[in-house]
Structure 1
Amino acid sequence: MLQSVLRQIYPPRCVSCGDLVAQDFALCLPCWGKTPFATGLVCDACGVPLPGDDHGQPEYCDECLARVRAWTRGRAALIYADKARDLVLAFKHGDRTELARPASGWVLRAVRPILLPGMVVAPVPLHRWRLLRRRYNQAALLSHGVAQGAGLDHCPDLLIRTRATVVQDGLGGDARFANLEGAIAVHPRRGDLLAGRPVLLVDDVMTSGATLEAAARACMAADASEVRVAVLARVAKTM
């Protein structure tokens, strides 16, 4: 009874535009149509959509063919464009933490085919000063939802930033990788949890993959058996 009354007072609204929708934490049909989901044939390493049909064999984008990744497989829920870009920016910089609920569901749907039994799910970490300014790590909110939905162990502090780095925006590909070199490590008290187990690293956006590269290398150096990655949105050069 109370829930029905609350729904009349506070009806479900689109998480993007605010229009009325049928259920909580959903997109309306127009916003759904303007939100590019990464579906169909995708790069097996980063999740970006590829031309052609999915025949069950791993395929790779030009970027992942040109640069060997420290992780084995990866998926993205969205392409960083149109309404997806707006949602990511609102989630990351606009204090829209409630977006973690639908966003983690989209990420879980994308990454479920490459999950492994016994995986440890962990977010890409923020440096403590950046975390203090932002007040939350959006990657940790995503990874919590993914782990909970998949029934896997979640370790929000598996990784730490060993030093502050300059903001990646505006840096070229090689500069991004150089900026993150040695900047991420496994937490000194989490090595035993990681050793011999596969890891799923979760982040909000992948551009060059430099941050995920540094995080994956840290996990492998601490004897993880394998690293796979999942992101909310993948920046794509072409659609």
Structure 2
Amino acid sequence: MGMQSVLRAIYPPACLSCGEMTEADFALCGACWHDTPFLGDTLCTLCARPLPGEAEPGLRCDACLAAPPPWTAGRAVLRYSGGGRRLALALKHGDRTDLARPLGDWMAGAAVDLVEADTLVVPVPLHRGRLWTRRYNQSALLAARIAWRLGLETCPDALWRRRATTSLAGDAETRRATLDGAIVPHPRRGARMAGRPVLIVDDVLTSGATLSACARAARSAAASEIRVIALARAAPDA
């Protein structure tokens, strides 16, 4: 019996979410697959908000038509509900860093048409105090996996959260004010964004305030094109 077979016998494939046995590694069992809401193709091409009707190029939601975000394209993989919410929270707060591999693979598949050969993959930064407490940045783990799958370069600290911020709440203007000046290009490594397209990676996209702050910071570092991708999309109608 080979080593792989021995490991399979000791550690059989298990569901990413509930731990039940599955036929393949890095998979969901039938029940969790049914409970995990993957987003379809009919999404706003800027903020990934689910929309009614059929998919079409350049589809935008009313909010993005009224006030476009500071990036040119956006994607998400899951709705932030049911199994999608459980997976996102397990990665973020549950020490399930192993989830970065399969979830990052899903995101890489959704990001294929967002990247170019010289795209730099950049995660949303954590403040050092929160990073010390959590011990890892879930967005950086996802960014590293996306970059590896797509053969791209990543820079985990191209953006710097120089000031801790409270939990984002309130309307869009309040959220933006909370983040004003908090996220900037890193004093040294931020220069790596200059003159090249940037893909900003986050775990959950809600109002877009955090990604907007990151996009503005990347633009101030002279990034040529800014696109975003999130694991999950949270929205009132999502």
TM bucket (normalised to shorter chain) is over 0.9
Deviation digits for residues 144-187 of structure 1 (CA, Å, limit 9, x no counterpart): 0000000011100101012111112x433321111111111111
CA distance in 2, matches of 1:191, 1:16: 36
Runs of 4+ in 1 over 6 A off after TM superposition: none
Given that 2:159 and 2:190 are in contact with CA atoms closer than 8 Å, whether structure 1 keeps it comes out as: no
Match of 1:200 in 2: 199
CA distance in 2, matches of 1:80, 1:214: 21
CA distance in 1, matches of 2:205, 2:65: 16
1:82-231 matched pairs, under 5 angstroms: 82-168=82-168, 170-231=169-230
The amino acid that maps onto 1:99 is L
Paired residue secondary structure (1:52): coil
Match of 1:21 in 2: 22
CA distance in 1, matches of 2:213, 2:98: 28
Given that 1:48 and 1:79 are in contact with CA atoms closer than 8 Å, whether structure 2 keeps it comes out as: no
Paired residue secondary structure (1:228): strand
- Bigger drift between 58-67 and 146-155 goes to 58-67
TM-score, normalised with respect to structure 2: 0.96
Given that 1:159 and 1:215 are in contact with CA atoms closer than 8 Å, whether structure 2 keeps it comes out as: yes
- Aligned-residue identity in percent: 53
Corresponding position: 1:42 with 2:43: yes
- Bigger drift between 200-209 and 110-119 goes to 110-119
**Alpha-carbon shift at residue 204 of structure 1 (Å):** 0.3
Given that 2:131 and 2:137 are in contact with CA atoms closer than 8 Å, whether structure 1 keeps it comes out as: yes
- Bigger drift between 64-73 and 121-130 goes to 64-73
Equivalences, count: 237
Deviation digits for residues 208-233 of structure 1 (CA, Å, limit 9, x no counterpart): 00000001001101111010000000
CA distance in 1, matches of 2:84, 2:217: 30
CA distance in 2, matches of 1:65, 1:82: 29
CA distance in 2, matches of 1:203, 1:158: 14
Change (3 A) 1:86 1:191: closer
CA distance in 2, matches of 1:47, 1:214: 18
CA distance in 2, matches of 1:171, 1:86: 24
Deviation digits for residues 66-94 of structure 1 (CA, Å, limit 9, x no counterpart): 32211110000111011101111111111
CA distance in 2, matches of 1:86, 1:192: 36
Paired residue secondary structure (2:226): strand
Instruction: Give structure 1 stretches of 5+ with no counterpart.
Output: none
Match of 1:2 in 2: 3
Given that 2:35 and 2:82 are in contact with CA atoms closer than 8 Å, whether structure 1 keeps it comes out as: yes
Match of 2:32 in 1: 31
